[in-house]
Amino acid sequence: MTRFRPARALAAATMLAAAVAVPQATTVVPPTFDDMVARSQVVFVGQTIGVRSEWASTRSGPAIVTLVTFKVIRTLKGDLGGQTVLEFLGGTVGEHRLEVAGVPKFRVGDEDVLFVDERGRPVSPVVGFMHGRFRVLEEPRTGRRSVARHDFEPLASVRDIGATPAPARIPSSRALSLAAFEDEIVRTARRQAQAR
C-alpha cells in the first residue's frame, strides 16, 4: 500500500510550479483575437459560482489544482450546458500552496468572457493563460456593460487584442460593450468555420 505523503507531494508540486512558471512568464505572448477564437473549443460568458482546491495526480506527480465552477450565461462558440467546471494548476490546500504565474484566479461572483481549450489537460484551460479572460464590467449609474482585459484595463476594440505595441489606455466610458464583443466572437467563429 502506498501512503500519500504531503511533504513529498509539496516538493513535487513546487518543482512542477517552477518548471511551469518560469517558461510561461517569458514565453506567453498575447494571442490575437482571431487566433484566440480559432484555438478555443468553447467561448462563453460565465459567472463564477464555486472555487475549490484539491490534490490531484499529474504526469509529474501530485500537485494542487483549483476547480472553478461557472454558471454558463451564454455560449458564443461550441456547446455547453448550464454549468461547466474548469481545472487550473495551482491553489491552496491546508498549509500547502502552489502558485503558477499567469494562471487566472477567480472569485465567486466574477463575470467573464472566457476562451477555453481543455485539450491535453493544460496548466490553464483559458487560451493564452490570463489573456483569454475578459472581465465583464457594469457602470453603476447607467447599467452599461463593457469588457476589460484580465487586469481590468478597458478594451476599446478586438483589434487591440495581441496588438504590438500595446494600445493606449482608454477611459472605461469608451470600452467595448459586452454585446459588441459577443457579436465579434460569434461572427469570427462562424467565418473561421466556413473557411475550413
Mean pLDDT score, 11-15: 43
Structural Rg of the chain based on CA atoms: 18
- Greater confidence, 163 or 21? 163
Phi, psi of 105 (to 5 degrees): -115, 140
Domain ranges of the chain: 6-195
Mean pLDDT score, 183-193: 98
Beta-bridge mates of residue 98: 91
- pTM, two decimals, is 0.85
Spatial CA neighbour of 67 closest among 79, 81, 49: 49
Phi, psi of 172 (to 5 degrees): -60, -25
* d(C-alpha 186, C-alpha 112), whole Å: 16
pLDDT in tens, 87-102: 999 999 999 999 999 9
Angle at 184 between CA 171 and CA 114, to 5 degrees: 80
Supply the pLDDT for residue 59.
83
